[in-house]
Structure 1
């Protein structure tokens, strides 16, 4: 079962269209693993803080409560408790599974929240050639009758979540997994489809179990209850069910799907360094030769800033710049390091920061009060600005009418004289 630290919980993280559906449909064949389609529910928990409009109103009240009155630690604890009930409820119905895998590609915008809730969870980063990911978006759009104009989608100044996936999402994962960590594991899509048995063996060991024979042949287990649950959700890659086992057909298909202009535009956006760091230097050189250009080393900073701002505005979320993974292991290292500088035991350091219960409660209450007052003050300032803007608009309208009245009176007098004079001057 999953505990409060995240033991027996794994997150399969990647940008959409990276092959997570294929990885999941094979993992769910393992008797000790429960893996199904996207859950996404951690995003819903975090969205409580954004307080969208509701039929019963109270958006400002909810915003003040979640972001002012309720302590951050209490909010995290409540979300953790809810998540534990969900994960363990699924495990109880998982037919003997003891580890659950949450596959939700767009978790890239709540990585800080994920680390705070479950610091000992296993985090799998599924990596795929960015050009192949881009091509997969195009193919999916065409197959579903939607837009497949990647140039318009990538180059538009308007917000599009797919554009955020391909830019901000990918770079957030790159930074998050930039340092080795015992709770992190890199899995390359191309290696997975070329050698599924070998790659699944290593992945299973990372998850604390052993490879089970035939996991990769998911077509042979279509009739099982776990497989039925997986496919019943109808999300993820719709093409997975068309095959019975992994294949390499789509590894090099990006060269046939993308145009030179699309490859050039995306390569310039991401920069060459990202491809090299992910292990796709060869594919980068191939794309540059094909498109007849050389990409700069760094991403397009202005575009990335625009996409990050749009995503923050659309989701109501904010995050730390250049955020890196923080596991229980890295947190423990920091505590040990702080203690070693003073030559004291970690327990001694913990004892020093403990406060009497009453004083701690009073401090929390004072902090809550300050946050609530700050929010009210901020709301009051915003309301003052709105009213001042409205007042200025009304004043400008009144001034315009005042200036127009004399001119209108003069026109009226001229018209009357004209009529009295029989149309003569």
Structure 2
């Protein structure tokens, strides 16, 4: 079962279209591991602090509660408790599994939240050639009858989550996993499809399990309760179920799927250094030879900033700059697992939290008061302008009335 610090919990992290469905369906074949195609629910918990518009209203009230009244530590404890109930509830029906895999590609925007809730969870970073990821977007669009213009997608000025996936999300993961950690494991898609048994054996060792024969066989002809449940969700990669085992057909397909312009645009955005750090220097050299372009080492900082700002505005997320993975308990452990504070420290922390909450509430009231004063002043000015206009119009109106009366009197006399 999943412990309060994240023991027996695995996050499979990557950007969308990196092969996470393939990796997960093979891992869940292990008798002691359970997974669904996607979960994503931690994003909903995280976003409680950014209340959307609801039919019953109360957005401002919810914002004040989550961001002014409710202490941050209490919020995290509540989210942790909910997540534990969800994960362990799934494990109880998981046919004897004691490890659960949460595969949710867009968790890149709440990495700090993951570490705060479950600092001792295992985190697998699934890495794939960025050009292959880009071509997979194009391939999935064609399969769904959609024509995806990747050049327009990458260059558009308005917000599009897929553009953020391909850029901001990738760099977030690269920085997050940039230093070694005993709770982190790198898994390359290309190696996984080329030598699945060897790669799954290493992944199992990382998770404290032994490789089980046949884990890599997942498709046609294999049916058990866990596998049926996995595919029944109907999300993730729709092509996974077309095969019974991993294959390398899509490893080099990007050169046939992408246009030179698309490869050039994406290569310039990411920069040569990232490809080298991810282990794809040879693929980058191929792209440079094919496009005839020598990519700068550094990414396009302007594009990344624009996309990052758009994502922050759309989601309300505020990230720590260059955030890196934290698995040490001091970086966000549950209260019952953290070291005991010195005598008097707990009371002082509680009093400090109450003072902060009071100050925040007063600041909010003051801010609301200032906004109300501005609104009333604007209304007063508008009424005064209307009154002044009426004052100036009244004498002229009286004069018109006298002229009309005189005219009518004169006309009546002539009759």
- State the TM bucket, normalised to the shorter chain: 0.7 to 0.9
SS at structure 2 position matched to 1:151: helix
Structure-1 residue corresponding to 2:192 = 192
Q: Select which of 353, 356, 373 maps to 1:364.
A: 353
* Secondary structure of residue in 2 paired with 1:218: coil
Q: Tell whether the 8 Å contact from 2:128 to 2:189 is kept in structure 1 after alignment.
A: yes
Q: What's 1:418 paired with?
A: none
Q: Unpaired runs of 5+ in structure 2?
A: 333-337, 401-415
Aligned to 2:241: 241
Deviation at 1:376, TM superposition (A): 3.1
Q: Label 1:219 to 1:69 Cα distance change in 2 as closer, same or farther (>3 A).
A: same
Shift of 1:146: 2.1
Question: Is the CA contact 2:34–2:101 (under 8 Å) kept in the aligned structure 1?
Answer: yes
1:170 aligned partner: 170
The structure whose Rg is larger is 2
Aligned match of 2:207: 207
**C-alpha separation between the residues in 2 aligned to 1:319 and 1:54?**
25
Match of 1:56 in 2: 56
Report if aligned partners of 2:200, 2:211 keep a CA contact under 8 Å in 1: yes
* Distance in structure 1 (CA, Å) of the matches to 2:111 and 2:220: 35
1:137, distance to aligned residue in structure 2 (A): 0.3
Shift of 1:41: 0.3
The equivalent of 2:411 in structure 1 is none
State the Cα deviation string for residues 37-84 of structure 1 (Å, max 9, x = none).
110000000110001111111100000000000000000000000000
For 1:118, the equivalent position in structure 2 comes to 118
**2-structure distance, mates of 1:382, 1:128:** 50
Contact 1:221 1:227 (C-alpha < 8 Å) held by counterparts: no
Structure 1 residue 391, shift from structure 2 partner: 8.0
Aligned to 1:2, the other structure's residue is in SS state coil
The verdict on how the C-alpha distance between 1:350 and 1:10 changes in structure 2, with shifts beyond 3 A counting, is: closer
Report the Cα offset of residue 359 of structure 1.
Answer: 4.6
Classify 1:289/1:80 alpha carbon distance in 2 versus 1 (closer, same or farther; 3 Å): same
Cα deviations across residues 293-325 of structure 1 (Å, max 9, x unaligned)?
111111111111111111111111111110000
Q: Partners in 1 of 2:195 and 2:25 — Cα distance?
A: 16
* Mapping 1:274-285, distance limit 5 Å: 274-285=274-285
Counterpart of 2:9 in structure 1 is: 9
Q: Report if aligned partners of 1:222, 1:228 keep a CA contact under 8 Å in 2.
A: no
**CA offset at residue 19 of structure 1?**
0.1
Match of 1:133 in 2: 133
- SS of 2:219's equivalent in the other structure is helix
2:71 corresponding residue in structure 1:
71
Distance 1:102 1:387, change over 3 A: farther
Shift, 1:353, TM fit: 3.6
1:150 Cα shift? 0.3
CA RMSD of aligned residues (A): 2.8
Q: Distance in 2 between matches of 1:77 and 1:226?
A: 30
Change over 3 Å in CA distance of 1:53–1:243 after alignment to 2: same
**How far 1:145 sits from its partner (Å)?**
1.8
Normalised TM-score (structure 1) = 0.86
Q: Does 1:81 align with 2:104?
A: no
Within 5 Å, give how 1:5-404 maps onto structure 2: 5-219=5-219, 222-328=222-328, 331=331, 353-355=342-344, 358-381=347-370
Helix, strand or coil at the partner of 2:250:
coil
Give distance in 2, aligned partners of 1:390 and 1:169: 46
Deviations 1:240-293 (A, max 9, x none): 010010000000000000000000000001111000100000000110111111
The answer (yes or no) to whether the contact 2:116–2:331 under 8 Å persists in 1 is no
Displacement, 1:223? 1.8
Structure 1 residues not aligned, in runs of 5+: 333-348, 413-425
CA distance in 2: counterparts of 1:107 and 1:2, whole angstroms: 19
Change (3 A) 1:357 1:322: closer
Shift of 1:354: 4.0
Task: Answer whether contact 2:139 2:257 (CA < 8 A) is retained.
Answer: yes
Over 3 Å counting, the alpha-carbon distance change for 1:148 and 1:398 in structure 2 is farther
Deviation at 1:25, TM superposition (A): 0.7
Q: How many angstroms does 1:328 deviate by?
A: 2.1
Question: How many residues are paired up?
Answer: 392
Structure 1: distance between partners of 2:192 and 2:378: 59
Query: How far apart in 1 are the matches of 2:368 and 2:51?
Result: 15
